[in-house]
């Protein structure tokens, strides 16, 4: 069974119309977004509409691919409120017109930064309304059409986008730094599945990973490597039927997979270099049974030859009475006590009058 991540990127399922990519300041998910855009642009029968609000289009597409007929790029990185032309068209009109005017057939609409739209209009409801309208247009196209959104957590839009009211089906990819998994394995003795039971692992991992400051501390604090690591772990969450349409999924399926450029993109967790220490079996040395022998591996010889042992045995020991009992006057053991003036010495038994 192919990993969920690679199928989410390259083989969109017919009913999964919303793909949500979640980054954090500790770990970005943009390499996956780039892979999604590249795969979508290569499907020449489908249209790809890319809206760039924060990151330049070159972050997602090679310059040669930008000019493909089935790819339409809207670079709105320079459209900052207060710094542009006042009579430019409203974003909502531009976005809806771009999707509606695309050629018929499946469509992939990619928005590189939902938070930037929210920051510009300042209203979560207006942002969600725009995204809901785009999603409705995408869903109407059917087939493998998808709305791909990128969010940087913590964001007030995340809980709104993950609700079933916004979209009953959802594929969510959350990027986590590998330092998070090694920390949980070391501090809580809970390495990722299958080394630990999934219920135990998720019960610990989900609340820990939702606290953004914990991941930031692990990445940017003392002992952290800093951001920008090329390899990371991806939490894949699928709600509703997935790419393998035969399996009717109930509820939500959640797995942890990996992303590594060296492995060509999606990979298993165990293929990540940063996590190799979790998978290697450590042999516990049996020190309690045999203490390490200090006489081994020395540059000089501590052993004795038989002649040396014989001459050692002939050396008289300084303690002359070894082995012989000490002869002394056998006096009976007794305690001699002289009472002083304050002592009330009475030979009678004080407990005589007790009647128990």
Partner 1 sequence: MFPPVDLPLPAEILVITDELSAPADFLLHRHLVDNLKNSSNAKCVLVAVSEDLGRWKSLCQRSNLNLSQYLDSGVLSFVDVMRHTSSSLNGETDASLRSLFWELKKQITVSSENSHVPVSVILDNIASLEWMGILTLDLTRFIRALSALCRKNNASLVIRHHITTSGERDDILRHLLQLCTYHLDVFPLSSGRSGSVSGQVALHCGPGTTKPTHRLIPRSAAVQYRLTDSGSVFFDRGTGSGVL
CB of 43 to partner 1, least distance (A): 20
DSSP per-residue codes, 231-287: -EEEEEEEES--SSTTS---SEEEEEEEEEGGGTEEE-GGG-GGGHHHHSPPPPP-T
CB of 104 to partner 1, least distance (A): 32
Q: What is the per-residue binding string for partner 1 in 246-285, x denoting contact by CB under 8 A? A: ----------------------------------------
Cα 37–41–42 angle (5° rounding)? 120
CB of 149 to partner 1, least distance (A): 16
Contacts of 61 (CB under 8 A, 6+ apart): 34, 37, 38, 41, 50, 71, 73
Q: In this structure, how many other beta carbons lie within 10 angstroms of the beta carbon of residue 214?
A: 17
Report if residue 149 touches partner 1, rule: CB under 8 A.
Answer: no
Q: Which is nearer to partner 1, 23 or 260 (CB)?
A: 23
Q: Which is nearer to partner 1, 53 or 205 (CB)?
A: 53
Q: Which of residues 26-55 bind partner 1 (CB under 8 A)?
A: 28, 30-31, 34, 54-55
CB of 215 to partner 1, least distance (A): 11
Q: With CB under 8 A, what is the number of residues at the site for partner 1? A: 33
Q: Which is nearer to partner 1, 130 or 179 (CB)?
A: 179
CB of 247 to partner 1, least distance (A): 33
- SS3 state of residue 171: strand
Contacts of 299 (CB under 8 A, 6+ apart): none
CB of 227 to partner 1, least distance (A): 5
Rounded to an integer, what distance in angstroms lies between the CA atom of residue 88 and that of residue 269? 47
Q: What is the per-residue binding string for partner 1 in 50-89, x denoting contact by CB under 8 A? A: ----xxx-xx-----------------xx-xxxxx-----
Q: Starting at the edge strand that comes first in sequence, how are the strands of the sheet with 232-239 ordered? A: 71-75, 47-52, 107-111, 146-153, 18-24, 170-176, 232-239, 252-260, 265-267
CB of 84 to partner 1, least distance (A): 8
Interacting span for partner 1 (CB under 8 A) from 22-30, 188-196, 202-210, 280-288:
22-30
CB of 152 to partner 1, least distance (A): 7
Contacts of 333 (CB under 8 A, 6+ apart): none
Q: In this structure, how many other beta carbons lie within 10 angstroms of the beta carbon of residue 245?
A: 10
Q: Which is nearer to partner 1, 122 or 285 (CB)?
A: 122
- Smallest Cα–Cα separation from 178: which of 345, 6, 26? 26
- SS3 state of residue 218: helix
Q: What is the per-residue binding string for partner 1 in 211-230, x denoting contact by CB under 8 A? A: -----xx--xxx-xxxxxxx
Contact between residue 39 and residue 10 where contact means Cβ atoms under 8 Å apart: yes
Alpha carbon distance, N-terminus to C-terminus of the chain: 85
Q: What is the per-residue binding string for partner 1 in 150-169, x denoting contact by CB under 8 A? A: --x-----------------
Q: What is the per-residue binding string for partner 1 in 287-326, x denoting contact by CB under 8 A? A: ----------------------------------------
According to DSSP, the β-strands at 47-52 and 107-111 are parallel
Question: Residue numbers of the site for partner 1 (CB under 8 A)?
Answer: 23, 25, 28, 30-31, 34, 54-56, 58-59, 77-78, 80-84, 116, 119, 152, 216-217, 220-222, 224-230
């Amino acid at each position: 069974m192919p990993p969920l991540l690679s199928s989410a990127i390259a083989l969109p399922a017919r009913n999964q119309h919303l793909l949500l990519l979640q980054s954090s300041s500790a770990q970005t998910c943009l390499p996956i977004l780039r892979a999604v855009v590249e795969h979508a642009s290569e499907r020449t029968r489908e249209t790809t509409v890319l809206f760039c609000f924060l990151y330049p289009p070159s972050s997602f597409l090679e310059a040669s691919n930008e000019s493909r007929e089935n790819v339409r790029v809207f670079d709105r990185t320079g459209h900052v409120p207060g710094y542009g032309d006042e009579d430019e068209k409203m974003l909502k009109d531009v976005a809806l017109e771009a999707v509606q005017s695309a050629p018929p057939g499946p469509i992939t609409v990619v928005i590189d930064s939902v938070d930037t739209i929210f920051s510009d209009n300042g209203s979560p409801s207006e942002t969600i309304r725009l995204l809901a309208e785009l999603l409705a247009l995408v869903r109407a196209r059917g087939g493998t059409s998808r709305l791909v959104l990128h969010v940087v957590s913590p964001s007030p839009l995340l809980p709104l986008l993950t609700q079933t009211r916004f979209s009953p089906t959802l594929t969510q990819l959350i990027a986590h730094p590998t330092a998070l998994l090694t920390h949980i394995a070391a501090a809580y003795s809970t390495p990722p599945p299958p080394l630990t039971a999934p219920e135990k692992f998720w019960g610990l991992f989900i609340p820990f990973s939702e606290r953004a400051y914990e991941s930031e501390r692990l990445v940017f604090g003392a002992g952290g490597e800093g951001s920008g690591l090329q390899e990371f772990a991806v939490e894949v969450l699928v709600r509703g039927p997935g790419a393998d349409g035969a399996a009717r999924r109930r509820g939500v399926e959640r797995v942890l997979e990996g992303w590594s450029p060296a492995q060509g993109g999606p990979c298993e967790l165990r293929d990540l270099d940063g996590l190799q220490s979790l998978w290697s079996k450590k042999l516990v040395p049996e020190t309690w049974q045999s203490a390490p022998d200090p006489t081994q591996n020395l540059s000089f010889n501590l052993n004795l030859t038989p002649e040396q042992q014989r001459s050692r045995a002939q050396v008289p020991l300084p303690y002359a009475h070894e082995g012989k009992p000490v002869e002394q006057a056998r006096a009976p053991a007794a305690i001699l006590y002289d009472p002083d003036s304050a002592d009330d010495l009475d030979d009678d038994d004080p407990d005589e009058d007790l009647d128990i």
